Amino acid sequence: MIDDDDIAAIASGYVESAIGIIRVSGKNSLELLKKIFYPKKANFEANKIYHGFIKDLDSKIIDEVMVSVFKSPHSYTGEDSFEINCHGGLLVMRNVLELVLKNGARLAMPGEFTKRAFLNNKIDLVQANAIGNLIKAKTQKSLDIAFSQLLKKNTTIIDNLREDITFLMAENEVTIDHPDEDLSNINLKNRLSLLNKIHHSIEKLLNYAKKGQYFFEGASVVIIGKPNVGKSSLLNELVGHQRAIVTEIPGTTTDVVSEMISLNGIPLKILDTAGIRKHSNKIEFLGIQKSKEVIDTADLLIAVFDASIKLDSEDEIILNVIKNKKNVLVALNKSDLPIHFKLPSKFEAIQISCVKKSGIETLKNKLYEMLLEDYNADEVVSLNYSQIVALKSALMQTKKIKKAYQNLLDPALIGIELQLLADFIEQIIGKIENEDILDNVFKNFCVGK
């Protein structure tokens, strides 16, 4: 699966800067370096930086550079590699890269350096994900989580899963290899107990992965309510400036208005929707339809009610929308006025006043708490779509194995099911046979990574 080609790319990005970095990796890369680089000392030693000149085939100087040399297996990719630190002009970087390509290297595909690191067992897929997240992190907390994941500080739960599954597999092999021996210490109750532990660990890992998605991909928070309850005013308070037009005329917002904020390290996309009620015209009808669409995809809803008036039929429409939703935060706006609104006992509410700017911080804290319920910073992981699919498949597989145990299925058949469970978990770390799946993991990386 590992190509023999030498690969090269501008690792620092093709933008004008003080220093540009051209990264090259492959089994013949150091031989390539000798063709184009002229240092004072020609015998390249690993993990050292050399000063010299890049020259073309006619011995014309292209640039004065510093070159870092790395030898297999002690490099990022696990292969012989080098990095040219040249001047960061666009033309200089292009000329150096073109010279490298003319001397036998090919242009690297997006993420190919990291893919080679994975294939050479320098990193696993969880760490590969962390590298991608380090690059795209938009908040300090997401950066901290990505770095912890890269250092494998938050993969204990995955390691424990592998250990427990391996134990079940070994125990099952004993029953196959020694059918006539007394194996009373291997009982069904203990097997089911360990299987339940594995099941709950996978559920927990899926939950941690969901929290990880919030940090790196953000969460969507949709503000809903009938017209003129202060939805747009709340949006403006949350983003810290006037993003939405606010008037006393009901139905001022006729489309979904969105804005990004950072809430304690979580990128949040706040969406203000058109007031939901029985529509009075076609434009309002279309706005309400769009509101209902974003409600269905929201990670969390903020249902806003006017605390200064009694509950009416339009409020009932909103209550009907949120009654079966899990992540709903109810805000009673205009609480600086005499309160006449009576919320059904099923719901808890936070009293706010957008005019007086009161209760907003309490609402933000509650929002954060609801998004990260049972949040443990040391266990949050960021997994890609394929890894999450593998986890969900593993969860279903535990249920299948449980039935196999309970029905006293032949141990050889149980062994097949246990191997499938182990394979699903291995896909999270990186045992992937399908080249297309592997390419998909790394395709969103930048070219020089």
Binding-site residue numbers for Mg(2+) are: 232, 253
Per residue, the 3-state secondary structure of 81-92, as one string, reads EEEEEEECCHHH
Q: Is the peptide bond before 73 cis (omega within 30 degrees of 0)?
A: yes
The DSSP annotation for 211-275 comes to HHHHHHH-EEEEEE-STTSSHHHHHHHHHTS--S---SSTT---S-EEEEEEETTEEEEEEE-PP
Which of 205, 110, 185, 47 has the alpha carbon at shortest distance from 449? 110
Binding-site members for (6S)-5-formyl-5,6,7,8-tetrahydrofolate are: 23, 83, 122, 449
Euclidean distance between CA atoms 191 and 390, whole angstroms:
23
Cβ(12)–Cβ(88) under 8 Å? yes
CA 262, 372, 261: angle at the middle one, nearest 5?
Answer: 10
Would you list which residues are annotated within the binding site? 23, 83, 122, 228-233, 247-253, 272-275, 449
| 397 burial level (CB within 10 Å; 0-12, 13-18, 19+) | buried
Going by the annotation, the residues of the binding site for GTP are 228-233, 247-253, 272-275
As a dihedral over the C-alpha atoms of residue 136, residue 140, residue 141, residue 146, rounded to 10 degrees, the angle is 40
Give the chain's length: 449
Residues annotated as binding site for K(+)? 228, 247, 249, 252
Q: Using CA atoms, how far apart are residues 443 and 435, in angstroms rounded to an integer?
A: 12
What DSSP string describes 22-45?
Answer: EEEESTTHHHHHHHHEEES--S--
